[in-house]
Every structure is written in C-alpha cells, then in structure tokens.
Amino acid sequence: MRIRRLANLLVSGTFLTSMSLSAHHGGSLYEAAGETTTLRGQVTKFQFVFPHVLIYFAVQGENGEIVEWSGELTNPNRLARGVGGGGASNNVRWTTETLQPGDVLEVMGNVARNGAPSIRLRRVMSADGRVLLGGNEDGVRVEVALEGTPSRSSGVISGVDLSGVWMRRYDASYQNYAFTEEPPSMTAWARERFEATRPTFGPRGVAVAETNDPAYQCLPPGTPRIYAHPSPFEIVQTPDRVMIVYEYQHIVRHVFVDGREHRQGRPPSWMGESVGHWEGDTLVVETGNFNDKTWLDRRGLPHSNQLRLVERIRRSNDNELTIDITVQDPVAYTEPWTARRVFDTVDWRLEENICLDDAIFEEFERALLEYEENSAAE
C-alpha cells in the first residue's frame, strides 16, 4: 500500500514552521499529558539528532490506508543517559542503532492538537516487549560504552603542562582566514560545495549581508576552524582530561586522556568528540563524529561527516604553543592535508563573547553600503 507521507498531509507550512521555531516548545503543540493515544506501526526513519530525536513510522488507518506518523522525543543526550524527558523514564541507553527501518513498535503519547499525524512520545515498546522508553520495569539495558570507561587517576596531572591563555600568531595575511595559502586538493563533491560558499574573508569575500557562512548564524564554528578566529583560548588540565576553553562563543572541548576510546552511537556533533594521549611532550588529540554543517576555515572549505582530525599540541617553549593539524576526509579531499598554527601566551582573562552582537555590525555595514549607493546616485 502507498504510504501517505506526513509532509503531504499538511495543507500548509504552518505546522512545520512551528516545529522549527519551537524546538523546545514543551507540550504546547500536543494534547494534554492525560489524553494519550496508543499506536502500532513500522519504523520508516529514525533520526537520533538534536534538538529532539524523531521516529517516523507507518500506521494503518481506519480505512486500510497507510499513514506515516512522526514521533517526537527528548534530546539525544537525555536518551543516551537513560532519561526520557517529559516525566518518562527508561533504563535503555539509546544510540543511533537503537531503532532501524522495519522495526515494529507500539507507542503511546499525546497527539498533535491540530490533527496532524504527529505524537509526543511517552512510551515506546519494541515488538518483543522491551520497553525502550516510559518505564524501567521491563527495559533491557543496552550495553554500549557511551560514557567511556575512565580509569581512576591518582590525582597527578600526566604529560606536560600546557595550561595558560593562548592567542594565535600571524605570520602571513592568509592566516586570518585559512590554514593554508592555497586550498587543498578537493574531490568533485567538495569543489561543488566550496564554489557555493560565500565567505566574508579571502579572495572571494562578500559583505556580511550576502554571506552564507554558518558562523554568522551563531552556529558553532567547528574544529579546526575555531583556531582561525581572532580570539584567545585557555587550556586547563586535570588528571583525566585537558579542557580547551575558547573565548569565541565560549565553547569548551573536553579531551579525555585517561585511556578511554571514542564512543559509538552518538549523534554527529558540531565540534566533534575528542580523546587524547601523550607522546612524550606532545598531546595527540584525535577528533571525529562531526556533522557536515561547518566550514574548516573562514574562506569556505567544506567537509563531510567522515572528517577525522588529529592535533599534535606541544609547548615549543615557555611562551609558545604549536599545534600541528592533520585533516583526513576522503569524501572531501583527495589526500590528507596538514597545517601548523603557533600561539603566544598572553596575560589575559577570557571575556564574554556573544555571537548575537554580530547583528550590530550588520546594521553598520548596511548603512555603509547604502551610503555608497546614495553617493553614486547623487
């Protein structure tokens, strides 16, 4: 039977727009908590993503037609920790592999007030009776190394002391926006995406009002791009991890050095997930599990979700930090490529940095451009 897709059932964009603009809307779009509906269907798509996890499943309607429903859950971090959200509980730690297309589910929750085939899920049960969400009495714990298996430390900080506040050094003008003077060799996939970018820096730079740089939407810049921004960062070390605190957008990276491995089944992330180890006086940081939504630099270099990044961080001398970067992404680049950045220690403290303040600059730039246009017309 033909499946009636959710998008086709909505006669206008109102519902989808509301979902987009109200990613943390609570239950306002759905019936009250006490008014529940139970459905049984087959999974067509499972999205273990932020801000909310979504399950799409096909349900047979009253007249025998097959209708695709959407089911909304809490964010993936909560589900991965065994917390359901909305009062639901579970002891199953969810991952990207918890559900597959074809799985049969029985779900219970609150349906959309406007009649759309969508439900805020409070209970999810698999065909074999496992409670995946909505109670831990029947649940079966999925054994996955979600939080890693950290070893207990003696409290002594391992490796070399990298702590301090660091600011990038300029040795060439291109370093204001890129890691290499010329773009690395790209695949056709990456070249097409690179040519579609409209950066504000470099030879192809445009006005802020014309850019499609995701950073101007206040989205996380990604790694290694964050090193290309003219803001300092601070390294803080503890026995089990090295924390890199960036002034830009106040982003914090946790680099665990206690022997744990990368977790499996996590949703793709903006900054990637990092683990590290020491090789003599060098901290080797391996980062993966990226989404493909950021640029690698400020001139628009793209990457795929297959990006793997290796940073070799060492203290060149008391006042200098060197980071050697290796970028590996077979989808985007014909071969791995490398770059080096040098940072100087500074006697600064990290200050507030609010991305939304960029709107003030857009107003300034717009006034400047309009002034030029008005002058030309006179």
Read off the pLDDT of residues 57-73 as tens digits, 9 standing for 90 and up.
Answer: 999 988 889 999 999 98
Rounded to a whole number of angstroms, the CA Rg of the chain reads: 24
Residue 45 has a CB neighbour count (10 Å cut-off) of 12
Residue 219 pLDDT more than 70? yes
* Statement: 164-368 belongs to CATH 2.40.128.20: yes
Residue 259 pLDDT more than 80? yes
Please check whether the two domains, 3-133 and 164-368, share a CATH topology.
no
d(CA 120, CA 118) in angstroms, rounded, equals 7
Q: What is the largest CA-CA distance in the chain?
A: 78
Q: Which pLDDT score, from 0 to 100, does residue 39 have?
A: 95
Residue 157 pLDDT more than 80? no
Contact between 232 and 247 under an 8 Å Cβ cutoff? The reply is yes
Residue 146 pLDDT more than 70? no
Tokens of 302: 């793209």
Residue 1 pLDDT more than 70? no
The CATH architecture one would assign to domain 3-133 is Beta Barrel (2.40)
Q: What percent of the chain has pLDDT over 90?
A: 58
- Sign, Cα dihedral of 99, 103, 106, 107: positive
Question: Dihedral (C-alpha) 31, 32, 35, 36: value to the nearest 10 degrees?
Answer: 70
Through-space distance between the first and last CA atoms of the chain, rounded to whole angstroms: 67
Q: Which pLDDT score, from 0 to 100, does residue 369 have?
A: 65
Read off the pLDDT of residues 289-344 as tens digits, 9 standing for 90 and up.
Answer: 999 999 999 999 999 999 999 999 999 999 999 999 999 999 999 999 999 999 99
Look at strands 83-85 and 66-72 and give their pairing: unpaired
246 versus 114: the higher-pLDDT residue is: 246
Distance from chain centroid for Cα 278: 27
Q: What are the structural domain ranges in the chain?
A: 3-133, 164-368
Read off the pLDDT of residues 238-247 as tens digits, 9 standing for 90 and up.
Answer: 989 999 999 9
Read off the pLDDT of residues 345-365 as tens digits, 9 standing for 90 and up.
Answer: 999 989 888 887 666 666 666
Tokens of 168: 């990038």
Tell me the pTM.
0.72
